[in-house]
Structure 1
Amino acid sequence: MTEYTDLLERVVAPDGTGRTVSDPATGEAIGAVLEQDVEALDAAVARAKAAQRSWAALGHAKRSELLNAVADRIEAESEPLAELLSREQGKPLNGPNARFEVGACSAWLRAAADTVLEAETLVDDGQTRAVLSYKAAGVVGAIGPWNWPLMIGMWQMAPSLRMGNTVVIKPSSNTPLSVLALVSIMNEVLPADVLVPVTGNRTVGARLAAHPDVAKVMFTGSTAAGREIIKGSAANLARLTLELGGNDAGIVLPGTDAKAIAQDLFWGAFINTGQTCAALKRLYVHDSVYEQVIDALKEVTATMPMGNGLDEANVLGPIQNKSQFDIVVGLVEDAKSRGGRVITGGSPASELGALFYPVTIVADLKDGDPLVDEEQFGPALPIIRYTELDDAIASANGLDVGLGASVWSSDPAVAREVAARLEAGTVWINQHGTLHPMAPFGGVKASGYGLEFGVEGLKSVAVPQVING
């Protein structure tokens, strides 16, 4: 098996060149990454475009065979990939973190490779026969985030490649090395130029979204950045899948067993130390179980160690970058100034390192408080008391985002009734943020549009064609 250092050596810039990438847990330099420019991006798209027809011509069966072979290679290199990811992103090896993320890469890749998308006969009445099928779009531009760089990158790459597209992938500037390493492993199996990585700043990402030879753009990131992607892609009418910001609400109904849901509530909110688009970010709890839920969450939090991700004992890590750290600090300080009751945490864990912030639960907040209304994207959870269910539902629906939501109840039937009233792309019951490669995932309102995963995900990276006759 490749060692971590061998894997890193494949993708770092030569000594004395590139931009330094640091470990958020320690501040130590990991290596440097090349900062490519728009000309390099144009060359990458040209290579991918030239390779696309022959890749599509291989057919679904051969592409699926190759993608399963790629999954084998990822599994063989899973440990050094997880170590590099932990060092670069900060997430621990254990828990639902680095090893989990690498495992998800191969799982989602196999699911995309093996999912069948059959042609559909729409009309066959003896006079007219219309058949709907899906063909490759062309070159897909994939622009990824820093929170789950490998897994979300695979969500973009796997279905695109499966459908016969070629892919130009630009990782986040915060976490480029782990994505480059993943791509290098994949390219041991894939034909040349089917998958081309490009690094660089936002100018490079903007050019990828606006490139006239890019037929489809997949982007995961902030709503503000998503709007710029839409503007940039307008000239060439590229198809878009946008998974944008969220501020997922959870509603705990009266009569719910607080201890029974506490562990799942915790991970719904604090997976990846809260740095997850579809994490639980504001929790509305009925007055009758309010203090019980707070106490149960406090008990669970006390059992979750935080620290350097390479320490096998830890399951929570640092905030990945200083700008996000500052956002979390600012929102918590504001909540405290408004009378928020700090249940756990509440100030930086500077004894662990510069970017560590402990799990922070702040009770007695209300709609309109910034920690409630603004996406914190970190380990801080506001808890809001309610007495009338209609008010809680109105609050959950009151923001211009709708990625996910959840309902927590000892009565699943009642929970499903409430779930149907929530404005979100996915609503979970007695869980939050759990995903399945065959269950479509996407947002509504300012959380974006387009679906990923399963059959619908394959359709989203293809173009429909109807043959009449």
Structure 2
Amino acid sequence: MTDTATRAREILERLGAGDPFDPDGEAGGGAGPRAADVIVSRSPIDGQEIGRLTPHTPAEVADVIGRAQGAFEQWRTVPAPVRGALVRELGELLREHKEDLGALVSIEAGKIVSEGLGEVQEMIDICDLAVGLSRQLHGLTIATERPGHRMMEQWHPLGVVGVISAFNFPVAVWSWNSALAFVCGDAVVWKPSEKTVLTALACQALLTEAARRVGAPEQISSVLIGEREVGEALVDDPRVPLVSATGSTRMGKQVAPRVAARLGRSLLELGGNNAAIVAPSADLDLAVRGIVFSAVGTAGQRCTSLRRVIAHESVRDELVEKLKAAYETLPIGSPLEPSTLVGPLIDESATSAFLAAIEQAQADGGTLVTGGEKADGVAGGQYVRPAIVDMPKQTDIVKAETFAPILYVLTYRDLDEAIALHNDVSQGLSSSIFTLDVREAETFVSAIGSDCGIANVNIGPSGAEIGGAFGGEKDTGGGRESGSDAWRSYMRRATNTVNYSTELPLAQGVEFV
């Protein structure tokens, strides 16, 4: 057994998540042997097996949802501040096991150590936010035209929330949804990426323990293991009023109409093609630091990764030279090594997409400034050298989201041109501008500036905090998760009018006698 497999197994044992090499046990679908259907989990660090698990069948998905519905019917009657105790316990368990869970994220998703730990910290942070929220769920009292009446709105628990997550944030996305859903009175059924199943089982084990401690229903949270057919069964079930799906735009365009066909709700967090405008007044040293992290963090496998730099012609050459120098010193290798800044891509198909995009960009007239090939001297896994490509214009390959560390550099003359280039892509997630000119900064974040859900000044587009609602427009799906008023997505609204008089006036002056 490889080092990654041994370490993953030891972590899962400490977290009470079962044996990852027991396909017929509770860690898997638990439905008995179906050897041909076993999902093999591999670490992108070295390509080695770290688990074998049995997927659920569509019929088993229906059973899981049925049990979740029963748990919801109990949970919705529990006062919201008491529901907050469940999330508080989960947060405490995450603090206790942060090192282990962060390491498991690195082993299974390929994130460097600090990013794996940072993802768990994000979970802890959303738990803190949700616990406070459990005492702040509020409606409105609304002025009514009818004397002796009171009108108000309330927010009630919604039901079973389906969560579909991607490999690149294997635990944080679940927590964004689940922490809010639990305090809102919902149950959660989670279908993680088949590429990152072990981290999901670890989270489920911690949640199960938290539920035991506070006496919450056992099936308040469940994990579904499987590929497309399992996700389709979750998406199509009418007992799931909300499906929160994170992944590619292609996936979202398949999920949304299926949920809409049964008049359910979709909360979609899809692709991004994020840009940074670098203005003439920009602090270039600050810009370089912000650009490099945003472009190569998680090996370019974030929905908020920086993919385009739109640089003013007066600073473009100097900026590219500084970026080139920074890129050529980036330590590439095992994410478990503390000195590593660039880990592996998730699998071979990601490497193929990276190389194909580089080839197409060059065919479109682009000049490869640095990187763009497989990394030599790194044993096992899918390691590449992050690329910078100077482009003469914004071609189709630049407008496409390649989930890999490729940074395209475009040039502009005036801010209107830069904003037009920035917005001329189908995605609308995150964006940024580096400028010391207050007019440029305010224009960029105004209604005529960035068309993204996130617009930053003097920081890159990557690395959102949980206090703000996270999400974007256009092909990004329009959903919002995490902070602000995102909790409303997980509840249903009821408008109430109470007549405390002896009269019965009708609205709009209608008379009916």
TM-score range, shorter chain: over 0.9
Counterpart residue number, 1:187: 208
Counterpart-to-counterpart distance in 1, 2:16 and 2:168: 19
Quick check: 1:88 aligned with 2:108?
Answer: yes
Deviations 1:222-248 (A, max 9, x none): 111111111211232111110111111
Counterpart residue number, 2:225: 199
Counterpart-to-counterpart distance in 2, 1:304 and 1:65: 43
Of 428, 435, 439, the residue aligned with 2:456 is 428
TM-score (norm 1): 0.95
Counterpart residue number, 1:61: 81
Quick check: 1:299 aligned with 2:306?
Answer: no
Quick check: 1:440 aligned with 2:466?
Answer: no
Quick check: 1:40 aligned with 2:68?
Answer: no
Quick check: 1:467 aligned with 2:488?
Answer: no
Gaps of 5+ in 2: 1-8, 25-34, 499-513
Retained in 1: the 8 A contact 2:84–2:182? no
Deviates more, 1:196-205 or 1:263-272: 263-272
- Residues 146-165 of structure 1: pairs in structure 2 closer than 5 A: 146-165=167-186
- Residues 112-191 of structure 1: pairs in structure 2 closer than 5 A: 112-115=130-133, 116-123=136-143, 127=147, 128-190=149-211, 191=216
Counterpart amino acid of residue 390 in structure 2: A
Structure 2 SS opposite 1:234: helix
Counterpart-to-counterpart distance in 1, 2:369 and 2:201: 40
Counterpart residue number, 2:6: none
Counterpart-to-counterpart distance in 1, 2:255 and 2:19: 27
Of 307, 323, 329, the residue aligned with 2:349 is 323
Quick check: 1:208 aligned with 2:234?
Answer: yes
Counterpart-to-counterpart distance in 1, 2:477 and 2:264: 15
Deviations 1:297-329 (A, max 9, x none): 223324431211111211221001222221111
Retained in 2: the 8 A contact 1:248–1:279? yes
Counterpart residue number, 1:10: 18
Deviations 1:53-88 (A, max 9, x none): 211211111111221111101111111211211111
Counterpart-to-counterpart distance in 2, 1:168 and 1:15: 20
Counterpart residue number, 1:104: 122
Counterpart-to-counterpart distance in 1, 2:145 and 2:469: 32
Counterpart-to-counterpart distance in 2, 1:11 and 1:136: 35
Counterpart residue number, 1:381: 407
Retained in 1: the 8 A contact 2:177–2:482? no
Deviations 1:416-461 (A, max 9, x none): 2123212111111111223222211221111102221224211011
Retained in 1: the 8 A contact 2:20–2:50? no
Counterpart residue number, 1:218: 244
Q: 1:11 to 1:70 in 2, by over 3 A?
A: farther
Counterpart residue number, 2:487: 458
Distance apart, 1:373 and its partner CA: 1.2
Deviations 1:342-370 (A, max 9, x none): 22212111431341111111113421151
Deviates more, 1:274-283 or 1:118-127: 118-127
Counterpart residue number, 2:269: 243
Counterpart-to-counterpart distance in 2, 1:356 and 1:284: 27
Retained in 2: the 8 A contact 1:12–1:34? no
Of 88, 91, 94, the residue aligned with 1:71 is 91
Counterpart-to-counterpart distance in 2, 1:455 and 1:257: 31
Aligned length: 465
Distance apart, 1:255 and its partner CA: 2.0
Q: 1:449 to 1:338 in 2, by over 3 A?
A: closer
Structure 2 SS opposite 1:326: helix
Counterpart amino acid of residue 114 in structure 1: G
Deviates more, 1:167-176 or 1:316-325: 316-325
Q: 1:202 to 1:77 in 2, by over 3 A?
A: same
Deviations 1:69-121 (A, max 9, x none): 11101111111211211111111112xx1111111111112212212222211
Of 205, 208, 232, the residue aligned with 2:258 is 232
TM-score (norm 2): 0.87
Distance apart, 1:275 and its partner CA: 0.5
Counterpart amino acid of residue 23 in structure 1: S
Counterpart amino acid of residue 332 in structure 2: M
Higher Cα radius of gyration:
2
Counterpart residue number, 1:411: 437
Counterpart amino acid of residue 451 in structure 1: R
Structure 2 SS opposite 1:168: strand
Q: 1:326 to 1:287 in 2, by over 3 A?
A: same
Q: 1:50 to 1:15 in 2, by over 3 A?
A: closer
Counterpart amino acid of residue 102 in structure 1: V
Gaps of 5+ in 1: none
Counterpart amino acid of residue 443 in structure 1: G
Structure 2 SS opposite 1:45: helix
Segments of 4+ moved more than 4 angstroms: none
Counterpart residue number, 1:52: 72
Retained in 1: the 8 A contact 2:23–2:54? no
Counterpart amino acid of residue 168 in structure 1: V
Quick check: 1:25 aligned with 2:20?
Answer: no
Counterpart-to-counterpart distance in 1, 2:235 and 2:54: 20
Distance apart, 1:11 and its partner CA: 5.2
Of 333, 358, 362, the residue aligned with 2:389 is 362
Retained in 2: the 8 A contact 1:210–1:234? no
